[in-house]
Amino acid sequence: MSLRLSTVILPIYRWAEGRKLWERAEELGFDTAYTYDHLSWRVPFRDGPWFGAVPTLTAAAGVTSTIRLGTLVTSPNFRHPVTLAKDLITLDEVSAGRITLGIGAGGTGFDATALGQEPWAARERADRFGDFVALLDRLLTNGEVSYEGEFYSAHEARTIPGCVQRPRIPFAVAATGPRGMRLAARHGQAWVTTGDPAIFETGTPEESLAAVRGQVERLGAACADAGRDAAAMPKVMLTGFTPDRNRPLESVDAFVDFAGRHAEAGIDELVIHWPIPDSDFDTDPAVFERIALEAPAQLA
């Protein structure tokens, strides 16, 4: 399998400007264009424009025709499976079946308290995530669902006509721990990592690569326990959160080297951030476009 190259466009642009980026992402040949699903995010974006993921993806679906679209990632922090399922079915319809749902347990950032709740402990986030994914899976594959979980419930929730993609839109489950890996093996059509956050600040690129290789191996074990072939599950890596940060985007050669090493570690799809000046994702736009246009052929 050739390594796929995708991008993530943060929802920080007014649509007159933003639509041009989504259109350009398709022109550049990216496999998928994702966006973050947050209510707001960290500095320097906290006090600037930040738009909703589902409306943004719906608009993007209207100005593109071939590129896949998705979230990276949606979480239970401010979502409920019933209302989210209705939005996703509509989005899958509008896009003619081009949606992937990246989904994760969420963290302790601004989203965690935006609805007025206290932030959940890590254990509760994991518990909620399992309940959330199980109900969302049922909602997107059945026309009517009643469900009583520990955290989430549904009573005769209708999700007709269902997804364009059958049996439902694919889930790309973000997970690094054993419970999340088991959830990915049970419900995921893909798996997502950003590397090992424990070594982001102090580790080396070599240590990071070894950590990713270990994650892929643990996913393989979880898939084996679930009776699934891990080789058939795409493994997605959102870049920019490893010790080398954005250095792989400094040149085509640097990116091809980074991508090749991660492909050997088991990664099937790399996601690079669309350049944003004066941020952690400040990349030369010309080099970014050269990577999009030239790197995939070198990684085939």
Chain segment 44-103, per-residue pLDDT in tens: 999 999 999 999 999 999 999 999 999 999 999 999 999 999 999 999 999 999 999 999
pLDDT of residue 253: 98
User: Two tokens at 75?
Assistant: 């979480």
**Beta strand residue intervals within 167-268, DSSP E:** 171-174, 190-193, 235-238
pLDDT band at 2 (very low <50, low <70, confident <90, very high): confident
Q: Which of 76, 86, 88, 245 is nearest to 174 (CA)?
A: 76
Is the confidence at residue 1, as pLDDT, over 60? no
Decide: 62 and 24 in contact? Cβ < 8 Å: no
Residue 41 has pLDDT above 60, yes or no: yes
For residue 300, name the pLDDT band (cuts at 50, 70, 90).
Answer: confident
What's residue 170's pLDDT? 98
pLDDT tens by residue, 237-263: 999 999 999 999 999 999 999 999 999
Kindly report the CA angle at 98 between 95 and 100, in degrees rounded to 5? 120
More confident residue, 43 or 174: 174
What is the value of pTM for the model shown?
0.97
- Three-class SS of residue 114? coil
Assigned CATH class of 4-103+169-298: alpha beta
Which tens digit of pLDDT belongs to each residue from 137-153?
999 999 999 999 999 99
Write b or e for each residue in 65-85: b if 16 or more Cβ atoms lie within 10 A of its Cβ, otherwise e. eebbbbbbbbbbbbbebbebb
SS3 assignment, position 45: coil
**Partners of 157 in beta bridges:** 145
